[in-house]
Structure 1
Amino acid sequence: MAINLEKGQRISLSKEAPGLTKLMCGLGWDVAKPSGGGLFGAFSNNVDYDLDSSVICLDENDKANNQGNVIYFSNLQHKSGAITHLGDNLTGAGDGDDEQILVSLNQIPAEISKLVFTVNIYNCLERKQDFGQIKNAFVRLVNISNNKEIARYNLSGQEYKGMTGMIMAEIYRHNNEWKMAAIGNGVKVNGLGELVKAYA
């Protein structure tokens, strides 16, 4: 049975899924019905919410080093082949995962110590959109070998009002094993580029 993580909680993937080598990270969200009161006041539901998931690969100093270490809709695969983004969902419509990212843990280069899973709203300022208008956001990890969900982290509440980006979770090396941390930190950024700058 999958573990439902709380914000700040950490688990060992090696213990929860012994022998784990390949996993799928699924991210999903729904758009709240218009009610006004977001960062930009009343908002229109006529414009789709294009949320973009990304993975920022960091070294032991929490630095991204180069653009190739950012996996997103314009760079769908890491040069090592260890991380593959399955593509951009432009609307978030439908149930289940809106975007999926595949990770082969045993292929991740030794210089990469941490994978940061993020989501940001595309064209957030122009569209006057923020995470206060998003509901049911989640991130989940699935063991590809048996299709079993290992862990899930559901984000809820209005603490993300005014935020335009989200650091959802981290997968990181610790004492020769991989662990996952539920982060859930909202950030105010105008696009992925600004979010990545925090790791420059």
Structure 2
Amino acid sequence: MGINLQKGQRISLSKEAPGLTKLICGLGWDVAKRSGGGLFGAFSSVPDYDLDASVICLDRNDKVNDMTNIVYFGNLSHRSGAITHLGDNLTGAGEGDDEQILVDLSRIPSQIVKLVFTVNIYDCIARKQDFGQVQNAFVRLVNTSNNQELAKYNLSGSEYKGMTGMLMAEIYKHNDEWKMAAIGNGVKVNGLQELVKTYA
């Protein structure tokens, strides 16, 4: 049974799973059921919520130096081979993880010391969508060697109303030890590129 993290809590991955190198970061969410009803309620023209999970790789100055250090639906694998996005889920439908990202800590280049896991709503402005309608959002880490869940962070509450992006969690290196921090900060951005600008 993994640790259920609270916002701002940090854990040492090295202590929770000695020898850990490969892990899965799973992200999930549900969208609140649409109001409406009536005979044609099932044929609502409201578009699906397309939430996109990404990883922003930062250097010691908390900066991303080029777009190849962002792993997302348009760049599914980091050039080092250390981070692989397993693909885009366009609706959030289904149980369990909606999107998964594989991380091999042993292959992360030395200049990268922090991985920021984010989720943003695709085309949020045009679709008039925000995280106020998103429920049961979570991020979790799983040790791939034994499929054991190391930690999980559930996001909930009305604080995300009006927010269109979210900084879910960080995996960072401190004194040659990998740690995880639960962040859970909502941001107002129009797409991933705008979110990345804060680290430029």
With the length of structure 1 as denominator, give the TM-score of the two structures: 0.95
**Root-mean-square deviation (Å):** 1.1
Structure 2 unaligned runs (5+)?
37-43
Counterpart in 2 of 1:158?
158
Give, as a single letter, the amino acid of the residue that structure 2 aligns with 1:85: H
Alignment of 1:8-157 (within 5 A): 8-34=8-34, 46-157=46-157
- Count of paired positions: 193
Q: Which whole-Å CA distance do the structure 2 matches of 1:27 and 1:62 have between them?
A: 23
User: Secondary structure of 2:167's match?
Assistant: strand
Give, as a single letter, the amino acid of the residue that structure 2 aligns with 1:12: S
Structure 1 unaligned runs (5+)?
37-43
Q: Which whole-Å CA distance do the structure 2 matches of 1:19 and 1:84 have between them?
A: 20
Give, as a single letter, the amino acid of the residue that structure 1 aligns with 2:2: A
Alpha carbons of structure 1 residues 174 and 45: separation in structure 2 relative to 1, 3 Å: farther
1:47: how far off?
1.2
1:46: how far off?
3.1
Counterpart in 2 of 1:40?
none
User: Secondary structure of 1:198's match?
Assistant: helix
Give % identity.
Answer: 79
Q: Is the 8 A contact 1:33 1:45 kept in 2?
A: no
User: Secondary structure of 2:137's match?
Assistant: strand
With the length of structure 2 as denominator, give the TM-score of the two structures: 0.95
